[in-house]
């Protein structure tokens, strides 16, 4: 979701790659639905693990910034970049996956997480040359 929001706000002005602790980071339907509300298409998106990024030749040390959305990803990012000058920041975004028992409640939780990420991106990077939706 964060990669889609960043690309929506800033286009190609920055290289952005989603990564996680595990490599089973398929985007779920709720993320796709709430991003589609902002005209952000995530249906073909897949996040890679840090290990998979390295296997594919991405040097984490070449990134300027890693934004961790969970304590586990923050710890791993700090460990993998301990010999680099990469800035690692943690944004404590709520995890919407276990919130709500109805479709409407789940969508509300995902919207809240989406908006938290969007607000953090705007706070850190501004709105860019595109509309915030």
Which residues does 113 contact at the CB level (< 8 Å), separation at least 6?
1, 93, 94, 95, 96
pLDDT band at 133 (very low <50, low <70, confident <90, very high): very low
Is the confidence at residue 130, as pLDDT, over 70? no
The chain-wide mean pLDDT, for the chain, equals 82
96, two tokens:
């919407």
- Residues listed for the chain: 133
Is the confidence at residue 124, as pLDDT, over 80? yes
126, two tokens:
């501004």
What's the rounded Cα separation, in Å, for the pair 125 and 128? 7
Could you give the count of Cα atoms lying within 13 Å of 90 in the half-sphere of its Cβ? 11
Please choose, from the candidates 53, 50, 104, the residue with its C-alpha nearest in 3D space to the C-alpha of residue 74.
50
84 class by beta-carbon count within 10 Å (0-12 exposed, 13-18 middle, 19+ buried):
middle
Instruction: Name the pTM for this structure.
Output: 0.78
- Condensed to tens digits (0 to 9), the pLDDT of residues 25-73 reads 567 889 889 989 998 888 777 777 777 877 777 777 788 898 998 898 8
Which residues does 75 contact at the CB level (< 8 Å), separation at least 6?
none
pLDDT reported for residue 63: 85
Q: What residue ranges do the domains of the chain occupy?
A: 2-59+96-125
Is the confidence at residue 16, as pLDDT, over 70? yes
* 16 close to 66: Cβ distance less than 8 angstroms: no
């Amino acid at each position: 979701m964060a990669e889609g929001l960043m690309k929506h706000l800033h286009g190609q002005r920055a290289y952005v790659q989603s990564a996680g602790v595990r490599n089973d980071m398929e985007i779920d339907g709720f993320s796709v639905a709430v991003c589609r509300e902002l005209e952000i298409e995530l249906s073909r998106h897949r996040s890679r693990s840090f290990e998979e990024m390295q296997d594919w030749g991405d040097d984490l040390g070449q990134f300027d910034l890693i934004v961790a959305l969970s304590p586990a990803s923050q710890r791993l990012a700090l460990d993998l970049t301990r010999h680099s000058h990469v800035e690692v920041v943690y944004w404590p975004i709520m995890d919407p996956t276990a919130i709500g028992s109805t479709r409407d409640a789940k969508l509300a939780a995902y919207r809240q997480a989406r908006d938290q990420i969007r607000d953090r991106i705007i706070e850190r990077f501004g709105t860019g040359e595109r509309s915030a939706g």
